């Protein structure tokens, strides 16, 4: 049992949770995630650790409502307990001083990007961050990103805030202006696919953090498998970060849709129970 100690909405569908998990707070590194199960009948879902406070024994998660489990979580309040939290899982981000790092985050991918931006900055890199969202209200963590970035470029699809355009436009702007040594992209699979195509044009080494469907998170089931460089890899133990230019994003996108029908039906049922 892990208690929710704090909850704060960033936007209608994105919420920050601070959760008691002393062991994880102590051992986690940027890039790690946890798997949670809300109650006895719940499913296990992966969520990135956005930050932690070892002294208080807490970790921070930023969660976007996309289906039943995330909706249930967003309806939970401070003081309530999450049945199971296990982690930190996955390999930590390999952080070193490479020069200039271009970080790009889309949607809820911005949350997992935060500890990575922080890590690269602290390692002495110049960090330029591109944040992308559909519209102004969905831009999250801008302030926190600014604290660890040399520059933050905000892109919105509708131009309601920052510059109008997709994440790739913001990235190209930076790449054409200065030498970029490494790029890190995290967001919806489709965004990562196009971000990777962009950096590939300029031969910039690029890391993507993959958000496949998972069950155990310990390498036991293979639900999370993806093709990287033509080989099958398990995101939970071999990743979640991979060379973005080697990832078969089309296959990953398809696999993310494995339970589309089941998920939609489950969400309908869930909505009926809360109304």
Residues 163, 230: Cα–Cα separation, whole Å = 37
If one asks whether residue 57 binds another protein (CB under 8 A), the answer comes out as no
Q: Which of 124, 159, 229, 257 binds another protein (CB under 8 A)?
A: 257
Site residues for another protein, 25-54, by CB under 8 A, read 26-27, 37, 41-44
> CB 251 → another protein: shortest distance, Å?
6
What is the distance between the alpha carbons of residues 105 and 133, in angstroms, rounded to a whole number?
A: 9
Among 3, 81, 216, 245, binds another protein (CB under 8 A): 216
Name, in order, each residue with C-beta under 8 angstroms of 265's C-beta and a sequence gap of 6 or more.
Answer: none
Q: Which stretch binds ligand FES (CB under 6 A): 92-100, 107-115, 174-182, 220-228?
A: 220-228
Shortest separation between residue 248's beta carbon and another protein, angstroms = 8
Among residue numbers 218 through 237, which ones bind ligand FAD (CB under 6 A)?
none
- Would you count residue 205 as binding another protein (CB under 8 A)? no
214 lies in the binding site for ligand FES (CB under 6 A): yes
Structure-token pair, residue 188: 């919806």
C-alpha dihedral over 225, 228, 229, 233, to 10 degrees?
-50
CA dist 152 to 42, 132, 146, 196, 231, Å?
Answer: 38, 11, 6, 20, 35
Binds 136: which of another protein, ligand FAD, ligand FES, none (CB < 5-8 Å by kind): none
Closer by beta carbon to ligand FAD, 71 or else 98: 71
A 10 A CB-CB count for 254 gives 11
Nearest-10 Cα torsion for 9, 11, 12, 15: -40
Q: Name residue 228's beta-bridge partners.
A: 231, 247
Using CB under 8 A as the binding rule, whether residue 3 contacts another protein is answered as no
Per CB under 8 A, residues contacting another protein are 23-24, 26-27, 37, 41-44, 68-69, 83-89, 215-216, 218-223, 225-227, 232, 237, 251, 254-255, 257-259, 262-263, 266
């Amino acid at each position: 049992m892990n208690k929710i100690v704090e909850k704060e909405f960033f936007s209608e569908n994105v919420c920050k949770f601070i959760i008691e998990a002393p062991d994880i707070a102590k051992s986690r590194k940027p890039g790690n995630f946890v798997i949670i199960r809300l109650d006895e009948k719940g499913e296990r879902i992966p969520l990135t650790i956005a930050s932690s406070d070892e002294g208080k024994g807490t970790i921070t998660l930023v969660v976007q409502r996309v289906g039943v489990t995330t909706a249930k979580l967003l309806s939970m309040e401070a003081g309530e307990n999450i049945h199971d939290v296990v982690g930190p899982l996955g390999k930590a981000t390999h952080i070193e001083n490479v020069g200039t790092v271009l970080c790009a985050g889309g949607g809820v991918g911005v949350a997992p990007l935060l500890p990575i931006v922080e890590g690269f900055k602290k390692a002495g890199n110049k960090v330029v961050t591109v944040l992308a969202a559909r519209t102004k209200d969905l831009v999250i963590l801008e302030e926190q990103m600014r604290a660890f970035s040399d520059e933050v470029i905000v892109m919105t699809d509708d131009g309601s805030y920052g510059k109008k355009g997709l994440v790739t436009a913001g990235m190209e702007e930076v790449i054409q202006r200065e030498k970029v040594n490494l790029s890190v992209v995290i967001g919806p699979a489709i965004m990562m696919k196009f971000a990777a195509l962009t950096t590939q044009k300029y031969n910039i080494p690029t890391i993507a953090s993959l958000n496949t469907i998972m069950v155990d998170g310990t390498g036991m089931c293979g639900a999370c498998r993806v093709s990287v460089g033509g080989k099958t890899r398990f995101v939970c133990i071999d990743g979640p970060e991979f060379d973005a230019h080697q990832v078969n994003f089309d296959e990953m996108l398809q696999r993310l849709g494995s339970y589309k029908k089941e998920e939609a039906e489950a969400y309908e049922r869930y909505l009926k129970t809360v109304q």
